[in-house]
Structure 1
Amino acid sequence: MEPRQASPLTLAILLSLAAAVSLGITRFAYGLLLPPMRADLGWTYTLAGSMNTANAFGYFVGALCTPALMRRWDAARVLLVGASLASFFMGASGFFTDSTMLLTQRALAGAASALVFVSGGVLAAKLAVRASSAGQTQQSGLVLGIYYGGSGFGILLSALVVPVLLAGAAPGERWHGYAPWAWAWWVLAILCALATLALVRPVSALRSLVAQGSTVARHGRGFRYRDLTFGLAGYGCFGVGYIGYMTFVIALLREQGASTVAVTVFYSLLGVACMASSRIWAGLLDRHRSGRALATLNALLAAACVLPALSSEWPVLLLSGVVFGGVFLSVVASTTALVRHNLAPVDWPEGIAAFTTVFAAGQIVGPVVVGWIVDAFASSSPTLSASADHAAALSRGLVFSAIALALGALLASRQRALSAAM
C-alpha cells in the first residue's frame, strides 16, 4: 500500500520510527552503555548521570526552538533534519573519551531528538484528527499511543543489540583501538540512520495530508501557560522522576549481579510493554479532557519506580520493568491528548512544545540528583562491599524518582479541562 493511501493507524506505525530514534535509541540506550562507560572511564555516578542531564539540556533547547523552526519549515522537514542530525551525533559519541566532549555530544543529540519528537507529535496529533473526522473517534487516542509507543521499539532494538555486543568484553579491552562501548554507539547510530531513511516516504505522505487539512481551524486564542498550569507542573515532575529510573535501573541490575541475559530480558520486556501500552491506555486518553489521565499514569509509575527499592527479588524487578514500560510513554501521549482536546490545531505546536520544554527541564534535574544521591550514600556506607553499597544507593535514588512522580500525579489531578474547546 502506498503511504499516501494508508490508514491513520498504518501511518502512525510508520511515524513511530521517529519516536524510536528520538527517545528509544538517542535517549534511553545510554542506560545500557552507562555501566561499561563508567567502568572504563572511571566516572562517578554523578558524572554518569550528568551525561543524561546534558542530553536533557540539549532537548530543552531543541524544544524551545522547534515551534520557530516549524513556522519557517513544515513539521515533516523538521522531523527528517532532526533525525539525520541525531544519527550523526550518536555516531560521533563513539569517537571520544573526554568527558567534556561526550557531554557536548549528548547535548547535541538531545537537541536533535527534540526536533524529531515535537514535530512527530504534531504530525501524530493531526493524524488523530483525521481518524476522528473519518468516523474513527475511538482510534484517535490509539494513533497517539502508537506514535509514542515507537520509543518502545527503539528500546527493544537497543536491548537486543547492546548487551550482546558488549557481552564478554574484558575491562580495558579494545577492538581495533576503540572500547567496545564505542562500537555500540556506532551500531546504534546505524540503526537511527536506517530508521530515518525508512521515515522519508511516510513523512512525505503526512506532509501532503497536513497540507490538505490546512484550511481547518486556522485561528485559535493562542496557547497560554496559565491554562494548563497543573498539567505542565505534573509533566515536569514526570520528567524529573522517570529519567532517574531509565538512566540508572540497568546500573542497579548490574550492581546486583545480573547477567547479560537477565539485562537483555529485563530491557526487552520493558520495550515490549512500551509498544503494548498504546492499546492499553487509548481509551483513557480519549475519554478525559482534564489531567486525570496524566495523574493516573504518574501514580502507576511512582509505584513501579519504588519496587526495586523495596525488594531485589528478580520477579519484583521484572514486574517493575514491565509496569514502568507499559505506562511511561503513555504519560507523554496523555499530554498530546490534553493539547489536542483543549487547544485549536493552530496552537498545537506551541502547546506540544511547552509540554516538551517542561519535560526537558525536569530531565535536566533528575539524573544528576539521583547520581549525587548514589555517590553520597555509597561514600557514607563503608561497611558494605562496593557492589552492595552502590546497589543500596541506587535504590535510594529511585525512591527520589518515585516521590517526584507521586508529586506529579497530585499536581496533574488538579488540572481541569478548559471551559470550551478551542
Structure 2
Amino acid sequence: MSLKAKVVSSGWVIALRAGAALAAAVGVGRFVFTPILPLMQERAGVTAELGAALATSNYLGYMIGAIVMMAVPRWARSALALRISICVLVLSLMAMPATELPEAWIALRGLAGLASAIMFVVAASVIVHTIPKQSHHLVGWSYGGVGAGIAISGAVVLMIAQFGDWREAWFASGVLTAILGAFAWQLVQAEQSEHTSPAHTEPIHRPHRWFVPLVAAYFLEGVGYIIAGTFLVAAIASSASGGLGKLSWIVVGLAAIPSCLGWAWLSKKLAHPTLLTIALLLQAAGIGLAALDLGMAGAVLFGGTFMGITTLALDAGAHLQVPTAVAILSLVYAVGQTAGPILVAPLLSDGFHGPLLIAAVIVALAAVSTALIRIRFPAVHRPASESTFEPVTAETVGAGVNR
C-alpha cells in the first residue's frame, strides 16, 4: 500500500474514532436525557422543576469541563483525559437507575456534562488539527457521529419504553456509550502516530477582528439552540397526535448525520462566514416553524443545521489560528446553553410557543454577527499538499496540533 493510500486509510480511522467519541459524549451522554425525561416524569414522578434542575446540572458540568480544557490546553491531546472521561461518562449513566435521590441524579448529570465536555474538546481538536486537508470530507463523517448517537439512543429508548421503564433506558444508554467509547479509546494514540499533513499557511494578522464576532455568534447559537433542543420534542408532542413527539428527536438525529457531510463539502466551495450565516438562518426558520406548530419540518431543519454550525464554527476558529479556539468556543457555547433555559423559564407557563419564538430571534441575531465576519474574512490558503501528496514527519504533525 502506498504512503498516500495509508494516510487516506488512517484518515478514515481517525474520523470514525472521533465520530464514535462525539456520539458517546454528545449524542448519548448529553442528549439521551431528552427522550428519557418523559419516562422519568411518567414512572418516577419527576417534576418539571426537577427535570430542569437535572438539565441545568448537565449544562453546568459541561461548562466547567470547557473551562478546564481552556485552562489546561494540553489535555486536548491527552489519551488519559479522554479515557478517564469515557469511564466517568459510562459510570454516570449506569448509576442513574441505582438511586432515586434527586440530589444524586443532579450530581451524576453534572459529572456526565463534565466528562462530555472533555471528550468533545479532545475529539474536536483531533478533527480540526489532524484530518488531512485533502480528506476534508471526513470532518463531516466525524461530526455526523453526534446525529448518529442521537438517533440510535432515541430509538433504543423508544423501544425500551414499550416494555421497560426509565431504569432500563439509562442502563442501555450506558452500555451504548461503553461500546462507542471502546471504539474511540485509541483516538489520541492514532492521531499521534499517523502521518497526516497539516495545512501550511501564512500567519493571519489580527485574528481577533473576526474571532470576537465569531465567539459572539456561537454564544447566541448556544442560547437559541438549547432552548429549541430542550422544548422541541415537548412542543411537537403537545400539538401533534400519536407518537410524533417521540419520533421527532430521532428525526433530529437522522437529519444531523448527512447534514455534517453536506456542510463539510460546502466549506470547500464557500467561505465559513457565508455558510454559517446560511445555516443559522435556516435553523432560525426551523425553530420558528416548530413554534408555529409545524414541528416535524422544524425538527428536520434543526437537525440539519445544529452540528453543521458547530463544524463550521470550530473550523473557522482553527483557520484564524487562535490558540485554544476549540476550548474557547466550547466554553461560550456552554455558557449560552446554561443561560438559555433560565432566560425563557418565566414564559413556560404559557406553553412552548413563546420560548421557541425567542430562540428563533436569538439564532437570527447570531446570523447577523456571522454576516459581519464576512467583511474581508481571510481566505483559506490551499497548500500544495491538497493537490500533490507530501509526506511529513511526526514533528510537523505535532506542530499542526499546537498551532
Q: Following superposition of structure 1 onto structure 2, how do residues 314-329 of structure 1 map, counting pairs within 5 Å?
A: 316-329=294-307
> Using the alignment, how far apart are the partners of 2:272 and 2:237 within structure 1?
40
In structure 1, give the amino acid aligned to 2:166: W
Judge which range, 249-258 or 155-164, deviates more.
249-258
> Using the alignment, how far apart are the partners of 1:72 and 1:125 within structure 2?
15
Q: Following superposition of structure 1 onto structure 2, how do residues 101-140 of structure 1 map, counting pairs within 5 Å?
A: 101-128=104-131, 130=132, 132=133, 136=134, 139-140=135-136
Q: Per-residue displacement from partner, 1:346-379 (whole Å, max 9, x unpaired)?
A: x3xx1110100000001001234344421x32xx
Q: Following superposition of structure 1 onto structure 2, how do residues 19-418 of structure 1 map, counting pairs within 5 Å?
A: 19-71=22-74, 74-128=77-131, 130=132, 132=133, 136=134, 139-140=135-136, 142-167=137-162, 180-209=165-194, 227-256=210-239, 258-260=241-243, 262-263=244-245, 265-289=247-271, 291-311=273-293, 316-343=294-321, 347=323, 350-374=324-348, 376-377=349-350, 393-416=351-374
> Using the alignment, how far apart are the partners of 1:49 and 1:306 within structure 2?
22
CA contact (8 A) 2:81 2:118 kept: yes
Give the drift of 1:217.
7.1
> Using the alignment, how far apart are the partners of 2:76 and 2:130 within structure 1?
19
CA contact (8 A) 1:89 1:108 kept: yes
CA contact (8 A) 2:82 2:118 kept: yes
For 2:397, the equivalent position in structure 1 comes to none
> Using the alignment, how far apart are the partners of 1:236 and 1:73 within structure 2?
21
For 1:172, the equivalent position in structure 2 comes to none
**SS of residue paired to 2:267:** helix
CA contact (8 A) 2:237 2:246 kept: no
**SS of residue paired to 1:164:** helix
CA contact (8 A) 1:75 1:123 kept: no
Q: State percent identity of aligned pairs.
A: 26
> Using the alignment, how far apart are the partners of 1:94 and 1:288 within structure 2?
47
The 3 A distance-change label for structure 1 pair 240 and 96 is farther
The 3 A distance-change label for structure 1 pair 410 and 221 is closer
Q: Which runs of 4+ in 1 moved over 6 A?
A: 1-5, 216-224
Give the drift of 1:248.
2.0
Give the drift of 1:65.
0.9
After superposition, the CA RMSD in angstroms is 3.0
> Using the alignment, how far apart are the partners of 1:241 and 1:189 within structure 2?
28
The 3 A distance-change label for structure 1 pair 318 and 73 is closer
Q: How does the TM-score come out when normalised to structure 2? A: 0.83
Listed as ranges, the gaps of 5+ residues in structure 2 are 382-402
The 3 A distance-change label for structure 1 pair 288 and 352 is farther
> Using the alignment, how far apart are the partners of 1:72 and 1:201 within structure 2?
15
> Using the alignment, how far apart are the partners of 2:48 and 2:228 within structure 1?
14
Listed as ranges, the gaps of 5+ residues in structure 1 are 170-179, 378-392
**SS of residue paired to 1:414:** helix
Give the drift of 1:146.
1.9
**SS of residue paired to 2:31:** coil
> Using the alignment, how far apart are the partners of 1:273 and 1:419 within structure 2?
31
For 1:386, the equivalent position in structure 2 comes to none
Give the drift of 1:101.
2.2
Give the drift of 1:150.
0.6
Aligned length: 377
Give the drift of 1:127.
3.0
CA contact (8 A) 1:89 1:109 kept: yes
Give the drift of 1:414.
1.4
Q: Per-residue displacement from partner, 1:33-69 (whole Å, max 9, x unpaired)?
A: 1222233454543442332222111111101111444
**SS of residue paired to 1:286:** coil
The 3 A distance-change label for structure 1 pair 190 and 371 is farther
> Using the alignment, how far apart are the partners of 1:95 and 1:226 within structure 2?
50
> Using the alignment, how far apart are the partners of 2:108 and 2:344 within structure 1?
22
> Using the alignment, how far apart are the partners of 2:313 and 2:279 within structure 1?
11
